[in-house]
Amino acid sequence: MSDQKSGGVIASVIASHTPRMAYEEKAWDFTLGLIDGLKELGTNLRELNPDLIVVNTTHWITTFDWVITTHDRHKGICIAEEAPHLIPKLPYDRPGDRAYGEALNEDLNALEIPSYPTDIPDFHWDYGTAVPLQYLDPTNEIPAVVTPTCYASELEENIQVGQQIDATAKRLGKRVIVVVSNALTHLVVRGPASWPLPEHQAMDQKFIEMVKAGDVDSAIAYLPDYARDAKCEMGGRGLGVFLGAAKALEEDVSDLAGAQYGPYAQSSGSGNANLALVAA
């Protein structure tokens, strides 16, 4: 990986986050390849010398508005509220970036995308943020700004948010990695060993191949049908952020290189993969 940009998105990433991979020492076997993939991806991403990670997570859900974290430092305990037996206590401690968070919030509102900042002291991370970041940047050195999945948003708005993350980064001269914490197909069932339906796996593989080929335009065109038919996590909203950020990067560098890190793996009927798009 290499990139000479002085500001803007330098990589757009999909990261897996199943709670059964939260603690490496007792991770379930089917998650070990995903963990190794995140570690390898993180090594490559850190070589790009990012100033900031902007996380878009599917496990912090807002109803009507986008919310942007503006904490100077993120420090606390993540508990998986939907599965506290799997993640009862996952500490995190990482710098934030108040200036970028405030700027992104202002820029989204200027686009008439409703947003507000938060720096409330008792705010706590969801596991969609805490789980992948511990593997991508284990020394907790790269600052992070966290964004949610906005339930009232359409796919096009999420693509627009991904593009605005880039535009705000350019305005501030920040080299940004976008990490979208997102499963692919997500028609979940009881039983962690359960694989997605064969037809949903096929749709996931089609999307993965588009990403690996660096074909962002085809992936964007495919997204509405894919998100609906494959029952993608949170309606594919996070995938829209991923693709919007990748499209902004493509417009700067012309050609993108796509890669998958680790296997395609199941988790309770969902499909999971670590994917990245960077400058070719």
The boundaries of the domain holding residue 22 are: 8-279
- pTM of the entire structure? 0.97
The per-residue pLDDT for 168 is: 99
Give the whole-angstrom CA distance, residue 55 versus residue 200: 26
The strand pairing partners of 279, in sequence order, are 256
Q: Is residue 139 part of a domain?
A: yes
The per-residue pLDDT for 254 is: 87
Query: Are the C-beta atoms of residues 258 and 275 closer than 8 Å to each other?
Result: yes
Q: Is residue 168 part of a domain?
A: yes
Q: Is residue 2 part of a domain?
A: no
Exposed / middle / buried, residue 83 (Cβ in 10 Å: 0-12, 13-18, 19+) = middle
Query: Are the C-beta atoms of residues 11 and 278 closer than 8 Å to each other?
Result: yes
Q: Is residue 190 part of a domain?
A: yes
Q: How many domains, the chain?
A: 1
Q: Is residue 142 part of a domain?
A: yes
Query: Are the C-beta atoms of residues 249 and 277 closer than 8 Å to each other?
Result: yes
The per-residue pLDDT for 4 is: 59
Q: Is residue 3 part of a domain?
A: no
- In tens, the pLDDT along 196-230 reads 999 999 999 999 999 999 999 999 999 999 999 99
The per-residue pLDDT for 3 is: 55
C-alpha atoms less than 13 angstroms from C-alpha of 55 in its C-beta half-sphere: 33
Q: Please list the ranges in the chain whose pLDDT falls under 50.
A: 1-2
Whichever domain contains 185, its CATH number is 3.40.830.10
Residue 11's contacts (CB-CB under 8 Å, 6 or more residues apart) are: 1, 3, 45, 48, 50, 177, 178, 249, 276, 277, 278
Q: Is residue 240 part of a domain?
A: yes
Q: Is residue 1 part of a domain?
A: no
